[in-house]
Structure 1
Amino acid sequence: MPGSPGRISYCTTCKNRLWQLTDTLPDNLRRVTEAGNSEIVLVNYNSDDELNTWVRQFQSHIEDGTLRYVHEQTEPYFHASKAKNLAHLAATGRYLVNLDADNYIGDTIPTWRALWEEQPDTLIHGFSPDKNRKQRSEEELVRVRPDSGNGTYGRIGLPRTRFAALGGYDEQLLPSVHEDQDLMDRAAADGLSVVRTPQPGPAAIRNSHRETMRYSGIPLDWWDARELNKERSAENIRLGRLTANPGRSPVKVMLNFTEETEL
C-alpha cells in the first residue's frame, strides 16, 4: 500500500569541485532543511581545493543532521564509483539519491516523495532536456536518454535495500563515465521499476568532458573511457552479473570532522 517514503539522503561527491559546491551546496542544504526528513551526504574525496576548510561554515547543519560530511584522505585520483559508494554507505535514509556536485535539488523533493509514496520500489531518474537541441515533447523526453553533458545523469534515486542488493556502483569500471547508466541498467535488469521525471528550472552546472576526466588519473579521453565502460557493463548484464563489488574492502574515512570510521 502507498505510504510515507521515509528519509531521503542526497549523496554528493567532490574532488576539486569547490567552485561548483559554492553554488550548489548552500541551495541544496536549504532545500533539505525546508523539506524535512532528508539530508545531504558530502564526500570530500581527498580534494585539495580548501573544501575541508570551506565546509566548516555548515557545522550547524552537521549538528542538526541535515549534513553528513565524509573525508577520504588518501586517494590521489577521483574514482566516481568508489566515491559515490562512500556517500551512499554513509547515508541514513531509506531512499538514496545520487546528486553530483554540479547538480541542484530544486523543487523536486515533493515530486519524488509522491512517486515513492505511490511506488516505493522504484528507481527515479531525474533529468533535464538539453536546451541546445531541438525541443522534444514531454512524452518524448521521458522516453529518450538525455544529453550526457547537461548534468542529467547526476540525479538517480532508489531504495537503500535495492542499492545494497546491487552492490552499489561498480568499482571495477574506469574512474569516470557511464557509472550512473550502469547502475540504472543493472537495476532495471534486476526487475526494479524505473521512472524518469523532468526537472524544471536550472538543474546543473554544465561540465565539459575534459573537466569530467580531469582528476581520473587515466590517459583516456571521455569517449574512449565511456566505450570501455559500456562494454563491461553490457557484458555483465548479458551474463546476469548484476551485483557489483563482491568482497569489497571497507575504506577508512573521517566522519563529521571527528569520527574515524570505515565504510
Structure 2
Amino acid sequence: MPKPAGKISYCTTCKNRLWQLADTLPDNLRRVTEDGNSEIVLVNYNSDDELDTWVRRFQPHIDNGTLRYLHQRTEPHFHASKAKNLAHLAATGDHLVNLDADNYIGDTIPLWRTHWAQDPDLLIHGFSPDKNRPQRSEEEAVRLRPDSGNGTYGRIGLPRGRFLALGGYDEQLLPSAHEDKDLIDRATATGLPTVRRPQPGTAAIRNSHRETMRYSGIALEWWDARNLNKERSAENIRLGKLIANPSRTPLKVLLNFGEETAF
C-alpha cells in the first residue's frame, strides 16, 4: 500500500510531563503508525522524572522511524520556544505540527492531509472549543478566549520551508506564553494563508497556567509573561521584524539514545 503524500512531523516537547505523556504518547504513536507517513519528534528538555528510561519501551518505534527522540541535558529550565525549535529542526517531515505533550492527535490526520493536498502552502491552526474549562479566577474567565481554553491553542501545522524561513519560534521571548500566537502572527504577516479547524472529543489533558510556568525559572505569573511577550511580538511585527533568531546557536542533544548532535 503506497504511503500518503507529504510526511507529517508531530513535534512534542517535555519537561517533567511524563504523567501526561504516559497517556498521550502511546495513542499518538498509534495514530502516526496507522497513517503510514508520519512521525513524532519528542524532545526531553532535561527532565528529571525518569522520562529517558520510560521512552526506551518505544525502541521499536525509534527503529522504524515513527519516533525521533532527543535528549537535551544542559539547559536547566524549560524555555518553550527553544524546546519547540529543537523538535521542529530535528523533524524530517514536509509539514511540521506543534503538538504539546498534553495533546492528542485524535482523528485529525485525514482532514489535515486533505487541506495540504489542496494547498501545500497553508498554516493549519487546530484547537478544541471548551467553554467549560475551570477558571483560576474571574479575571481569567473574562480574559480567556472561548475557542482556545483547554490547552490546544498551540496545535500549529505549517510547511517545513515556511517554518525555517520564519526562523522558528522566537527564542527572545520569555520562557512561556504567547510563543504560539507570535508564530501564527508572523506567518500571517508574511502572507501565509491560515485556516482554523476544531478537534472534537478529548483533545488535551487539562493544565493550569501555574503548571505551565513551573519549570520556567522565572518568578512571573503566566498572564504577566504573556503580556510582556505579547508586547514584544506586536512591536516586532509593527517594525516588520518577522524572522526570528537570526544568530541562533544550535543546542546539543543525544538523538535516539546514541548519536551526539545539535539542532
Asked if Structure 1 and Structure 2 have the same fold, meaning a TM-score greater than 0.5 normalized by the shorter chain, the answer is yes
**For 2:149 and 2:194, how far apart are their aligned partners in 1?**
21
Q: What is the 5 A alignment of 1:179-218?
A: 179-218=179-218
Letter in 2 for 1:195: V
8 Å contact kept, 2:98–2:157: yes
| Ranges in structure 1 where 5+ consecutive residues have no aligned partner | 134-143
| Regions of 4+ moved over 2 Å | 144-149
Letter in 1 for 2:246: P
**For 1:38 and 1:92, how far apart are their aligned partners in 2?**
9
> In structure 2, do the counterparts of structure 1 residues 102 and 178 end up closer, same or farther at CA, with 3 Å as the change threshold?
same
| Identity level (%) | 81
8 Å contact kept, 1:5–1:116: no
> In structure 2, do the counterparts of structure 1 residues 149 and 131 end up closer, same or farther at CA, with 3 Å as the change threshold?
closer
Q: What is residue 18 of structure 1 aligned with on the other side?
A: 18
8 Å contact kept, 1:85–1:169: yes
Matched, 1:103 2:117: no
**For 2:199 and 2:149, how far apart are their aligned partners in 1?**
16
**For 2:246 and 2:87, how far apart are their aligned partners in 1?**
18
Shift of 1:130: 1.2
**For 1:182 and 1:99, how far apart are their aligned partners in 2?**
16
Root-mean-square deviation over aligned CA pairs: 1.3
**For 2:165 and 2:129, how far apart are their aligned partners in 1?**
31
- Cα deviation 1:200-226 (Å, max 9, x = unaligned): 111001100100100000010001000
8 Å contact kept, 2:129–2:149: no
Q: What is residue 155 of structure 1 aligned with on the other side?
A: 155
> In structure 2, do the counterparts of structure 1 residues 213 and 160 end up closer, same or farther at CA, with 3 Å as the change threshold?
same
Letter in 2 for 1:191: G
Question: Is the partner of 1:152 in helix, strand or coil?
Answer: coil
**For 2:158 and 2:185, how far apart are their aligned partners in 1?**
13
Matched, 1:91 2:87: no
Question: Is the partner of 1:44 in helix, strand or coil?
Answer: strand
Question: Is the partner of 2:243 in helix, strand or coil?
Answer: coil
**For 1:29 and 1:146, how far apart are their aligned partners in 2?**
29
Question: Is the partner of 2:125 in helix, strand or coil?
Answer: strand
Matched, 1:243 2:256: no
> In structure 2, do the counterparts of structure 1 residues 205 and 230 end up closer, same or farther at CA, with 3 Å as the change threshold?
same
Q: What is the 5 A alignment of 1:118-133?
A: 118-132=118-132
Matched, 1:177 2:142: no
Q: What is residue 59 of structure 2 aligned with on the other side?
A: 59
Q: What is residue 256 of structure 2 aligned with on the other side?
A: 256
Q: What is residue 141 of structure 2 aligned with on the other side?
A: none
Letter in 2 for 1:50: E
> In structure 2, do the counterparts of structure 1 residues 146 and 188 end up closer, same or farther at CA, with 3 Å as the change threshold?
farther
Residues matched between the structures, number: 250
Letter in 1 for 2:219: P
**For 2:28 and 2:19, how far apart are their aligned partners in 1?**
15
8 Å contact kept, 1:41–1:69: yes
